[in-house]
């Protein structure tokens, strides 16, 4: 169902790689809700991925840009304002990558050059994007900027590695810049902390399928999928959330507030079966 929530608005969507990408779903819904958008990803991702097909389908220009490169970002905002015919009303940062995770470097044996890359791509790019937009005065009054985060910013989860540090920084940038951009231009900046989702980036996390199953059993509403995440992004881009800023907004079926659910406890207890004695008591140690 469409509500025309973004009628007449202009947006830039970073990070659609293929139809599993959260950004892909956000782009589709933004256009369905009446927005005009440009799509962007790294030159390599534009060549190798499927974003060009999305551009064709949505009649949206695809502008290759590396989100860690200030010149690329300046070109992207200038071109988008020109193509869309005015200042930008909403921006989605849907970018994450850890070369340490890719190279299977564990958290207690990180390569620090790779850590710098993780931080630059997954967190500092958010600052670079906002700073570039502000200097160019490319975002309209009351605009909305969203980045996607994960609960590993607050809690330690097996296998998330240096991406946890990147997400903590990403959420902090939303607060620090949210104050300045809000005060000066009424621009909102928030992060949405999404359930584990099976995408290209998501499948890089060690034990992702088990993590998704655990989170699903733990959350009273179950895991949120990419489509549902896109719905939340649309509401946050719309005029219905004009006074929401500097927040990390959990979109995780309740996971972040849970300690233990019956379903998760049940499953957890089953794992002890092989450690029970003949009377059914758990053998500890
Ligand atoms: N999948 C999950 O479980 C999950 C959960 C919570 C949050 N998130 C976050 O959602 C966001 C989107 O990820 P996704 O799951 O849709 O995966 P995805 O792999 O589809 O998207 C990641 C995107 O980042 C882009 N990217 C990488 N380096 C870049 C750079 N230098 N400049 C510009 N773009 C670059 C990739 O090309 C890709 O399009 C990420 O921030 C991710 O951390 C994902």
**Tens-place pLDDT, residues 119-131:** 999 999 999 999 9
Predicted local confidence at residue 205, as pLDDT: 79
**Residue 274 Cα, ligand 1 centroid: separation in angstroms?**
39
**Residue 124 Cα, ligand 1 centroid: separation in angstroms?**
14
Q: Which atom of ligand 1 is nearest to the CA of 150?
A: 6
Is 202 a pocket residue for ligand 1 (Cβ < 6 Å)? yes
Instruction: pLDDT band for 203, please (50, 70, 90 cuts).
Output: confident
CA distances to 220, 229, 263 from 182, in Å: 34, 24, 42
Q: Which pair of structure tokens corresponds to residue 226? A: 């990419």
Secondary structure (DSSP) of 142-181: EEEEEEEE-GGGTS--TT-TTHHHHHHHHHHHHHHHHHHH
Predicted local confidence at residue 264, as pLDDT: 85
Is 21 a pocket residue for ligand 1 (Cβ < 6 Å)? yes
269 HSE (CA, 13 A, CB side):
9
Give the span between the Cα atoms of 190 and 120, in whole angstroms.
19
pLDDT digits (tens, 9 = 90+) for 47-68: 998 999 999 999 999 999 999 9
Tell which one of 15, 73, 116, 197 to mutate to probe ligand 1, the residue whose CB is within 8 A of the most ligand atoms.
15
CA distances to 78, 133, 140 from 136, in Å: 8, 5, 11
**Residue 117 Cα, ligand 1 centroid: separation in angstroms?**
14
pLDDT digits (tens, 9 = 90+) for 209-258: 989 999 999 999 999 999 999 999 999 999 999 999 999 999 999 999 99
Tell which one of 199, 203, 229 to mutate to probe ligand 1, the residue whose CB is within 8 A of the most ligand atoms.
199
**Residue 96 Cα, ligand 1 centroid: separation in angstroms?**
4
Question: What domains appear along the chain, each with residue ranges and CATH number?
Answer: 10-260 (3.40.50.720)
Is 121 a pocket residue for ligand 1 (Cβ < 6 Å)? yes
Helix residue ranges, H only, 12-137? 22-32, 43-48, 51-58, 70-84, 99-102, 112-119, 125-135
Count Cβ atoms within 10 A of the Cβ of residue 93 and give its class: 0-12 exposed, 13-18 middle, 19 or more buried.
buried
Q: Which pair of structure tokens corresponds to residue 270? A: 């089953």
Q: Which atom of ligand 1 is nearest to the CA of 195?
A: 5
pLDDT digits (tens, 9 = 90+) for 84-113: 999 999 999 999 999 999 999 999 999 999
40 phi, psi to nearest 5 deg: -145, 150
pLDDT digits (tens, 9 = 90+) for 158-184: 889 999 999 999 999 999 999 999 999
């Amino acid at each position: 169902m469409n509500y025309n929530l973004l009628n007449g608005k202009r947006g830039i969507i970073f990070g659609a790689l293929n139809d599993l990408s959260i950004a892909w779903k956000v782009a589709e819904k933004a256009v369905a809700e009446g927005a005009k958008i440009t799509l962007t990803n790294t030159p390599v991702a534009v060549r190798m991925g499927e974003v060009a097909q999305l551009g064709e389908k949505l009649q949206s220009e695809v502008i290759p840009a590396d989100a860690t490169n200030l010149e690329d970002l300046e070109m992207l905002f200038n071109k988008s304002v020109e193509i869309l015919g005015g200042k930008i009303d909403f921006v989605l940062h849907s970018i994450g990558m850890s070369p340490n995770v890719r190279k299977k470097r564990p958290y207690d044996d990180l390569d620090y050059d790779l850590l710098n890359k993780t931080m630059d791509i997954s967190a500092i790019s958010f600052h670079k994007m906002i700073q570039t937009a502000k200097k160019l005065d490319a975002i309209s009054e009351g605009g909305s900027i969203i980045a996607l985060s994960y609960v590993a910013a607050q809690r330690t989860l097996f296998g998330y590695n240096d991406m946890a540090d990147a997400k903590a920084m990403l959420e902090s940038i939303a607060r620090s810049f949210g104050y300045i951009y809000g005060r000066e231009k009424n621009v909102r900046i928030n992060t949405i902390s999404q359930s584990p989702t099976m995408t290209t980036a998501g499948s890089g996390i060690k034990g992702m399928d088990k993590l998704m199953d655990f989170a699903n059993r733990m959350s009273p509403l179950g895991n949120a999928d990419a489509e549902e995440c896109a719905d939340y992004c649309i509401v946050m881009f719309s005029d219905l959330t004009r006074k929401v800023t500097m927040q990390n907004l959990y979109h995780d079926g309740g996971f972040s507030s849970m300690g233990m659910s019956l379903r998760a406890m049940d499953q957890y207890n089953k794992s002890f079966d092989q450690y029970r004695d003949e009377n059914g008591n758990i053998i500890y140690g």
